[in-house]
Amino acid sequence: MIIVHHLENSRSQRLLWLLEELKLDYEIKRYERAKDMSAPDSLRKVHPLGKSPILEEGEVTWVESGAILEHLAEAHARFGRPESVDEARRFTQFLHYAEGSLLPPMFVLLVVMKLGILGLPARKPMKRRIEEHLDYVEHELEGRTWFADERLTIADMMMSFPLEAAQARGLLGEARPNIEAWLKRCHERPAYQRALERGGDYAYAG
């Protein structure tokens, strides 16, 4: 049996999406965030880092969304690495880019905004940095349906959380039609809708 330790309004929504696309049986243990947005201590009983998602598969416990998604895509031979060299490169790149490059400045901006007046000098430079990323992503989606292939892959699933968060936080602005259209395509998928129903309220789904 697969168990997903799912923190509300979190990256973990991507895992539910993949599980629904794969039509796998799974159980969800849902956790609510504290006022400061942190995960409850009970998640540390499952894994010392206490971060979500956590996937339990029999005796094995998996953490890191990218690793979990890669593992499931490989195990079920779906939504994984495309065959062509160029598409495979894009697949690996965006799989890692979501957590490795796009989310960190967005997280820093969140912290900077919480600092109030103390964070004021950092707001503009952080926003500019994020703009650069969003311009790049917008350009990479030009003329494409999905990030790495003509079909949906886990690279798209990984990219969904940062781009949903950017949309929800008003960071996309007016000039990002490719990102907006891509988000719409993701959200229209029946498996995405089922994942939303299973996961409960999710603040970032447009």
Ligand X SMILES: N[C@@H](CCC(=O)N[C@@H](CS)C(=O)NCC(=O)O)C(=O)O
For binding to ligand X (CB under 6 A), which residues are involved?
A: 7, 10-11, 38-39, 51-53, 64-65, 99
Give least dist CB 56 to ligand X, A. 14
Cβ-based nearer residue to ligand X, 65 or 160 = 65
Angle between helices 154-168 and 85-97 (to 10 degrees): 40
Contact between residue 52 and residue 31 where contact means Cβ atoms under 8 Å apart = yes
| Residue 103: both structure tokens together | 């989310």
First-to-last alpha carbon distance for the chain, in angstroms, is: 31
DSSP letter for each residue of 90-103: HHHHHHHHIIIIIH
Cβ-based nearer residue to ligand X, 104 or 125 = 104
Give least dist CB 115 to ligand X, A. 18
| Residue 14: both structure tokens together | 């991507």
Cβ-based nearer residue to ligand X, 7 or 166 = 7
Helix (H) or strand (E) holding 118: none
Give least dist CB 147 to ligand X, A. 17
Give least dist CB 117 to ligand X, A. 25
Cβ-based nearer residue to ligand X, 11 or 81 = 11
| Residue 137: both structure tokens together | 């992503």
